[in-house]
Structure 1
Amino acid sequence: MRFDRLTACVRSTLTVGAALSALLMAPSAMAQSSVAAPVAVTAAPEGSGPALWVIKDADSTLYLFGTVHVLKPETPWGTARVDQAFASADEYWFEIADLANQDGVMPLIQAKGVSPDRPLSSLLTAEEMADLDAAARTVGATAAQLDPLRPWLASLQLALASIAKAGYVPANGGDQVLHARAAATGKPIKGFETASQQIGFIADMSEDAQLAMLRSGLKEFDQADAMLGRMVTAWSTGDVDGLDVLIGQEMKSESPEMYAVMLTNRNETWADQIQTLLAGSGTAFISVGAGHLAGADSLQSKLAQRGITTTRITD
């Protein structure tokens, strides 16, 4: 399999099950698309819309918003409160500042994405290899071509088919849309991480965690549309508890290591950065994957441990 094709898959895909949950919180995995992201947010959804929180002190206002990194073009999610908060910001914070900047990703894939001496066929059962072959053929590949890949990269390869088949488009993802809107304002755009760091989180997981990710993707390969549909519905209606069940709890049950690497540890680091940001002054709009804002180990919980209160905006 050519490395340029591998890179394209990493930039534009995500998987299902535990792997889907992980990559919903790593926009670098689907950062680039041939379709330009629209600047305007789509029409308002039914009900309350996605959740929005605010953090305030004497001279700072920080808005905290969760996104889904891939959406169908027709998915409605814009609300007046999000638009107002976004327009009021002096600067914008995302998981990564520049989705188009993939510096360091290719060398990382070359160094950690291929291991011919430990092929997938030595790690998976014959039945799992047959499932891998069936899934790979939907993207014009075979299990034999994927065999030299590390399990994490094979998972990303499979994702291309499941996401495209389900009709979800990276360019319509919430972070893509908000990045474009932020760029149009000319205001500063900052990031908590880099693209290579995000891919590195996945690539550096233990082999057992990578295999759990791959097996989850194989088991639920044909269910991506239904699973993503449930996640998007929970997100777009502000059902934070529902998101926790579908993303955080699902991931934790299938791979506690992935849960720690992709969610808990990153939320700890981001909470430190937000605490430093709050010590300054001004207004910022912070947008991260919605899974980071749900559950016992949410970013809000990590901030609370630092004495910082987040308040959900309900009107």
Structure 2
Amino acid sequence: MLKKVSSLLIAGALTATSAQASLLYKVSGNDMAEPSYLFGTIHMICADNFKVHADTTDAFKQSERLIMELDMADPAVMQSMQMQLLDPKGRKVSDHITESQYTLLDNYLTSATGNGLAVFDGMRPFILSSIVMTAQMDCAQQMSYEGHFTQQAMMQDKPVDGLETAEFQFGVFDQIPYEEQVQWLMDSIEDETKAKAELAKMTELYLAEDMQGLYQMIADTDAYAHYTALLLDNRNRNWQTQLDNDLQAAGSEFIAVGAGHLGGNAGIIKLLQELGYTVEAVSTEAK
């Protein structure tokens, strides 16, 4: 996830894994019968900045299966996500903020969505952070790479698999103190100029296909470093085992996960290399 809240998943020490900036990588070797591909996504981006390069399109067509963080083609997964928007303990954001903060958040949500805090009060704080982040993108239409690849997979009759369940992903955030998540939410509104600048920089790095620069930007954010193992390292290592099994199976995979998961010591690129795979950046040209 490369939302403001999802940037929590990208923290830790930086170790370059590829000298060439790229979103697309070919995975080969280790007795694989045919190569697979690894692509770094950004979970939401303004439509004007949404691009799929010719090499990515070709790699997707050559692959026989799509693997993402969640199986977005499964209606049960989407239903599960909808069912988990509310805080499981029945907590309300309004009980953890001051009166002036309530007014600020209520006005912000009303301006952005047409509904005040009363409509969203029982939701998990990171869901509200996602709503705020979408508004701060300052564009009329957003696009999702996960949505794009899911649609393409369905059109091309490719099976789709998920590395995690929706329950697991929501459960990860349940391990972060509720009050801290509320504070992150309020910080993004109280210092909106800073929040928008961070979003703009993140998008700039993504469009430059600078995975390491993106990783470093988030790694420098002190507030998130405490949750590196919970939100990034442990998940990547779980994926390492799953992806090894997938890559050793027959057929070619197109693996699309948040770009922040690719770089660093515990990034997917390095973890696959540790297993003996060759992971090579693929230069991309606009189609």
Q: Which residue in 1 is equivalent to 2:7?
A: 21
Number of residue pairs aligned between Structure 1 and Structure 2: 270
Report the TM-score when normalising by structure 2.
0.78
Q: Which residue in 2 is equivalent to 1:245?
A: 216
Change (3 A) 1:212 1:261: farther
8 Å contact from structure 1 (residues 102, 196) kept in 2: no
Distance 2:100 2:264 in 1: 35
8 Å contact from structure 2 (residues 247, 253) kept in 1: no
Change (3 A) 1:231 1:157: closer
Q: Which AA in structure 2 matches 1:114?
A: G
TM-aligned CA deviation for residue 63 of structure 1: 0.7
The DSSP-based 3-state class of the residue aligned with 1:53 is strand
TM-aligned CA deviation for residue 146 of structure 1: 5.1
Aligned partner of 1:313 among 264, 282, 287:
282
Matching of residue 67 in structure 1 with residue 38 in structure 2: no
Unaligned runs of 5+ in 1: 1-12, 25-47
Q: Which residue in 2 is equivalent to 1:137?
A: 110
Aligned partner of 1:53 among 3, 16, 25:
25
Q: Which residue in 2 is equivalent to 1:185?
A: 156
Q: How does 1:1-315 map to 2 (within 5 A)?
A: 16=4, 19-22=5-8, 50-57=22-29, 58=31, 59-99=33-73, 101-110=77-86, 112=88, 114-116=90-92, 120-121=94-95, 123-125=96-98, 128-138=101-111, 139-143=113-117, 148-163=122-137, 165-169=138-142, 172-222=143-193, 225-250=196-221, 253-314=222-283
Q: Which residue in 2 is equivalent to 1:39?
A: none
The DSSP-based 3-state class of the residue aligned with 1:103 is helix
Identify the structure with bigger relative contact order (alpha carbons < 8 Å, sequence gap 6+): 2
Q: Which residue in 1 is equivalent to 2:14?
A: none
8 Å contact from structure 2 (residues 27, 37) kept in 1: yes
Distance 1:284 1:264 in 2: 23
Q: Which AA in structure 2 matches 1:56?
A: S
Change (3 A) 1:21 1:281: same
TM-aligned CA deviation for residue 288 of structure 1: 0.8
Distance 1:237 1:173 in 2: 18
Q: Which AA in structure 1 matches 2:188?
A: G
The DSSP-based 3-state class of the residue aligned with 1:230 is helix
8 Å contact from structure 2 (residues 70, 164) kept in 1: yes
Which stretch has the larger CA shift, 49-58 or 148-157? 148-157
Change (3 A) 1:137 1:258: farther
Query: Deviation digits for residues 222-249 of structure 1, max 9, x if unmatched?
Result: 5555433322222222212221133444
Distance 2:148 2:173 in 1: 25
Change (3 A) 1:233 1:136: same
Identity %: 24
Change (3 A) 1:146 1:82: closer
8 Å contact from structure 2 (residues 22, 283) kept in 1: no
Distance 2:2 2:240 in 1: 26
Change (3 A) 1:142 1:289: same
8 Å contact from structure 1 (residues 49, 79) kept in 2: no
Report the TM-score when normalising by structure 1.
0.72
The DSSP-based 3-state class of the residue aligned with 1:193 is coil
8 Å contact from structure 2 (residues 42, 258) kept in 1: yes
Distance 1:127 1:267 in 2: 40
